[in-house]
């Protein structure tokens, strides 16, 4: 697994999202942001998330989707419950995943972060396959970019967001990174 010079993960299935733009010049990509998402909420059977990130969500397909009509969002990576990884935006570009946010006294986290969405919710545990892929992806990103911090969406937008939620096992994730790579010590 590696990220090429174009910011694409060689093992990911790439689905183009139009919801991105250029990062500000001279900004280091130094933050990973972990999210959770499922559409409809708590449903992992369809392609609602893919439809959202590609501006193809049908507001009539589910009552919840009416709240998403016209929303323009994206992420760099989406890890399904099976462990399959989908990439929507090059890591070299700014995906629109963080919204109004701040980290270490810097606003606009989209400018300097990579977003990773886990298919899930605040009410259901994540799968072993997701942790395996998230750990491998994090290590890969760490080798390619000057990542200094890893945060949840809840940490960069605490007034608005709760994800990745109480079922995300931070200790499991961070311990695995430290055990597998001396750089995370």
Catalytic positions: 117
- Asked if 108 contacts 24 with a C-beta cutoff of 8 angstroms, the reply is no
> Residues, the chain, total?
185
CA atoms within 13 A on the CB side of 49: 29
| Token duo for residue 32 | 């990973």
For Cα atoms 131, 135, 136, give the angle at the middle one, nearest 5 degrees.
120
- Angstrom distance (rounded) from CA 176 to CA 58: 39
Phi-psi region of 161 (alpha: psi -120 to 50; beta: other; left: phi over 0): beta
- DSSP for 165-182, please give it: -TTS-HHHHHHHHHHH-G
Longest CA–CA span in the chain (Å) reads 49
């Amino acid at each position: 697994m590696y990220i090429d010079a174009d910011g694409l993960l060689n093992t990911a299935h790439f689905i183009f999202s139009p919801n991105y733009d250029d990062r500000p010049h001279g900004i280091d990509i130094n933050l990973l942001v972990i999210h959770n998402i499922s559409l409809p909420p708590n449903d992992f059977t369809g392609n609602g998330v893919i439809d959202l990130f590609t501006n193809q969500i049908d507001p009539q397909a589910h009552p919840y989707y009416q709240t998403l009509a016209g929303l323009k969002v994206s992420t760099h990576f989406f890890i399904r419950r099976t462990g399959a990884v989908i990439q929507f935006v090059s890591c070299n570009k700014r995906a629109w995943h963080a919204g109004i946010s701040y980290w270490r006294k810097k606003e606009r986290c989209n400018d300097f972060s990579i977003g990773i969405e886990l298919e899930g919710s605040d009410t259901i545990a994540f799968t072993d396959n997701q942790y395996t892929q998230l750990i491998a992806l994090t290590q890969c990103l760490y080798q390619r970019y000057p990542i200094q911090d890893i945060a949840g969406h809840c940490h960069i937008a605490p007034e608005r967001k709760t994800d990745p939620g109480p079922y995300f096992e931070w200790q499991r994730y961070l311990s695995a990174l430290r055990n597998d790579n001396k750089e995370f010590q």
